[in-house]
Structure 1
């Protein structure tokens, strides 16, 4: 039973990673070229939180309780975008420091007095 649950969760994760738009965008942001878009991507959390608040307002007004699922997904996506900003800043600093070290190691140092 545990093995079946494990296999289903693996397949579900692979499906979500490949086909859900937020996961595709987050994978693109985590690349070396996409790290600079981490902080602006945090702004995408605002529309997700707005949609979640609309869903909960509709539920309070008498709409179907299935909108809680939509609200939960929107809140989850908003949290993912809020977290990616600081992570990208750290990764960008790490890559810049590594590039700086590599560029200074590859340059020959001239130790002669005449320069």
Structure 2
């Protein structure tokens, strides 16, 4: 019973985060075929999030509330998501282009074979 409850809670948490958190919404849009070309420029957001993490650590060291560690963790996590998505988007874009090229070639092939016969 406990494992089932934990499993359900984790699924609902993931669904909530996927649907309502801005960085997850943006990454979902970037994973579409039209959005893959924006993967490398989106790495710039990762740099902004790294800067936010550095600022939060500087504020904590300056005597601000230790609750800023939560901000630090979120900024660091979002920075890693965007920085890692850049190279991944290049691989996904290359794979999509290969599939599109194969589909175009397969569409042309039957018509050229029937013209020869």
Aligned length: 112
Partner of 1:5: 6
TM-score (norm 2): 0.90
Q: Runs of 5+ in structure 1 lacking a partner? A: none
C-alpha separation in 2, matches of 1:89 and 1:3:
38
**Superposition RMSD in Å:** 1.3
How far is 1:8 from its partner?
Answer: 1.1
Give the Cα–Cα distance (whole angstroms) in 1 for the partners of residues 23 and 69 of structure 2.
Answer: 19
1:109 shift after superposition: 2.4
Query: How do residues 1-115 of structure 1 correspond to structure 2 at under 5 angstroms?
Result: 1-107=2-108, 108-109=111-112
Distance 2:93 2:43 in 1: 15
**Partner Cα distance (2:74, 2:59) in 1:** 16
Runs (4 or more) in structure 1 with deviation over 6 Å come to none
Cα distance, 1:2 vs. partner? 2.0
Q: For residues 3 and 60 of structure 1, what CA distance do their matches in structure 2 show? A: 42
Could you tell me how far apart the structure 2 residues matched to 1:100 and 1:109 are?
17
5+ residue gaps, structure 2, are none
